[in-house]
Amino acid sequence: MNVLVYLGSKLGNNEIFKDAAVELADWIAFNRYGLVYGGNEKGLMGILAERAISKNVEVIGVMPTYLKEIETVKKNLTQFIETETMQERKDIMREMSEVCIALPGGPGTMEEITEAFSLHLVGQNPNACILFNKNGYYDELKNMYDNMVKNGFLTKEDRSKLLFSEDFDEIDQFIKMVLKK
């Protein structure tokens, strides 16, 4: 099984986010999963990939050509896939994975996990969608989704298909529940 991780190309300003990238890489390695991610060497992306590689995880990086001009491709990847567009990148990464997890990141991370969840709700993405809510990073987004339910824009059933957690036991159970359907 492959886990697609969306996360920042920057480090953020709190060491706890670096710790989250290491914890997630260790969990991926412990479960003998593969890692699919954006292929960048910098920021949380680089920390996650380096830790996964050090644990002998198969790591696949996917990046559009134009980003190679402004980002650095991680060395020592198991596989690197170059795409023409960002949309092609996102589609390929989802197709290669069974789980989508968002660590802390910026607008790109937010857009990617939101698209993955939206596609899940309309039957176009079978992957489990999870926001790794380290240090409450995604609490405000969680509140927004709960507000969507309260105001009738999202059903409770659909809301239950998106997990906000940093507890690996809860994450494991959620993945099993989603993937057995």
**pLDDT confidence of 181, banded at 50, 70, 90?**
low
| pLDDT in the model for residue 69 | 87
The structure tokens listed for 179 are 């993937």
pLDDT score recorded for residue 117: 98
Residues in the chain: 181
| pLDDT for 29 beyond 90 | yes
- Kindly report, residue by residue over 92-142, the tens digit of the pLDDT: 999 999 999 999 999 999 999 999 999 999 999 999 999 999 999 999 999
Q: What is the pLDDT of residue 129?
A: 98
What pLDDT was estimated at residue 146? 98
Kind and range of the H or E run holding 104: none
Label residues 130-159 b or e (16+ Cβ within 10 Å = b): bbbbbeebbeebbeebeeeeeeeebeeeee
Q: What is the pLDDT of residue 168?
A: 98
Helix 107-121 vs helix 86-95: crossing angle, to nearest 10: 60
Quote the crossing angle between the two packed helices 15-30 and 43-54, to the nearest 10°. 30
Three-state SS at 43? helix
Does residue 43 register a pLDDT over 70?
Answer: yes
pLDDT per residue over 44-54, tens digit each? 999 999 999 99
Bridge-based pairing of strands 99-102 and 162-165 is unpaired
Say if CB 162 and CB 145 are below 8 A apart.
Answer: yes
| Token pair of 92 as six digits | 């390929």
Q: Domain limits of the chain?
A: 2-175
Pairing of strands 34-37, 2-6: parallel
Q: Which overall architecture, per CATH, does domain 2-175 show?
A: 3-Layer(aba) Sandwich (3.40)
pLDDT in tens, 147-165: 999 999 999 999 999 999 9
- Output the pLDDT for position 140: 98
Per-residue pLDDT of 64-91, as tens digits, reads: 999 998 988 999 999 999 999 999 999 9
The radius of gyration computed from the CA coordinates of the chain, to the nearest angstrom, equals 15
